[in-house]
């Protein structure tokens, strides 16, 4: 069974204080790992797709990396508007090709 | 504007009264999916569809039905809703191959 575990559950940072969020996964035949941002009461917003170990993607203050067992979302010099829940998800291959499994998310709060 | 549209946004209903939540996408995506989101349980996949007339169960399909008669539409049907189906529901779509899902704005369902 595919599993995705995110840590920490919640993270409080001061503005400008860089940190990382972790996503550990077990999946049969990883087709892709996704990071999403979700604001309260809204649908998840797509951030990145990572396909293979060693791959990195960047967008503004966010950088996602991937190994064979986990992914990290690095947040450099965060601002209060980066406050949100960050979700990690994996897409498996084989017969469950359309099935996307999410982790529980990390609630990030950035204080000014 | 490329989007996934869900209706209604909010719905309060009584136990046993059949209801349908509609979902439509204008991006010509092959894959569509329904998720429910509950506190402490995260996003869980209900059903997904890989194309017209092709659907498969996700992690929590009990009590739900779906149909995919047209490529753009993927309604979620609750034949006899129960209070444990009170949740926030999201529809999502993506292209065939590996890519991120685009999510709708959500439907908050309360069954009393």
Mean pLDDT of chain B: 94
Q: How far is A61 from chain B (nearest CA, A)?
A: 20
| pLDDT tens readout for residues A51-110 | 999 999 999 999 999 999 999 999 999 999 999 999 999 988 765 566 788 999 999 999
Q: Is the pLDDT of residue B61 over 90?
A: yes
Centre a 10 Å sphere on the Cβ of residue B48 and count the other Cβ atoms it contains.
27
Q: CA dist B14 to B46, B81, B82, B88, B107, Å?
A: 21, 8, 8, 16, 16
Q: What per-residue confidence (pLDDT) applies to A111? A: 96
Per-residue tokens: B12:
């309060």
Would you say residue B54 has pLDDT above 70?
A: yes
Q: What is the per-residue pLDDT across B63-111, written as a single tens digit (0 to 9) for each? A: 999 999 999 999 999 999 999 999 999 999 988 776 788 999 999 999 9
Predicted local confidence at residue B98, as pLDDT: 67
Would you state the pLDDT for residue A28?
Answer: 82
Instruction: Enumerate the β-bridge partners of residue B51.
Output: B54
Per-residue pLDDT tens over the stretch A9-35: 999 999 999 999 999 999 888 889 999
State how far the alpha carbon of B12 is from the alpha carbons of A19, A55, A105, B45, B112, in Å. Answer: 41, 45, 27, 22, 7
The Cα A64–Cα A20 span in angstroms is 9
pLDDT of residue A41: 87
Asked if residue A90 lies in contact with residue A33, where contact means CB atoms within 8 angstroms, the answer is yes
Which has the closest alpha carbon to A47: A108, A99, A1? A108
- Mutation pick from B6, B100, B104 vs chain A, by most beta carbons of A within 10 Å, is B100
Number of H helices, E strands in chain B: 0, 11
Q: Which of A32, A45, A103 sits opposite B98 (nearest CB)?
A: A32
**Confidence at residue A92, expressed as pLDDT on a 0 to 100 scale:** 80
Q: A36–B102: do the CB atoms touch at under 8 Å?
A: no
* Per-residue confidence (pLDDT) for residue B82, from 0 to 100: 97
Contact between chains at B44 and A98 (C-beta distance less than 8 A): no
């Amino acid at each position: 069974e595919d599993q995705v575990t995110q840590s920490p559950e919640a993270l409080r940072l001061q503005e400008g204080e860089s940190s990382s969020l972790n996503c550990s996964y077990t999946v049969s035949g990883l087709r892709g790992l996704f990071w999403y941002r979700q604001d309260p009461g809204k649908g998840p917003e797509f951030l990145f797709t990572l396909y293979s170990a060693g791959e990195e993607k960047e967008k503004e203050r966010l950088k996602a990396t991937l190994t064979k067992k986990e992914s990290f979302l690095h947040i450099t010099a965060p601002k209060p508007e980066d406050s949100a829940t960050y979700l990690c998800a994996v897409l498996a291959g084989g017969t469950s090709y359309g099935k996307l499994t999410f982790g529980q998310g990390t609630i990030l709060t950035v204080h000014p | 504007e490329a989007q996934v549209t869900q209706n209604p946004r909010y719905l309060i209903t009584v136990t046993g009264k059949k209801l349908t939540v509609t979902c439509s996408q204008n991006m010509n995506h092959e894959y569509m999916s329904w998720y429910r989101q509950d506190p402490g349980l995260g996003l869980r996949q209900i059903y997904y569809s890989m194309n017209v007339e092709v659907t498969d169960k996700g992690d929590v399909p009990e009590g739900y039905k779906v149909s995919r008669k047209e490529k753009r539409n993927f309604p979620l049907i609750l034949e006899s809703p129960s209070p444990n189906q009170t949740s926030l529901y999201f529809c999502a779509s993506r292209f065939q191959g590996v890519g991120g899902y685009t999510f709708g704005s959500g439907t908050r369902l309360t069954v009393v």
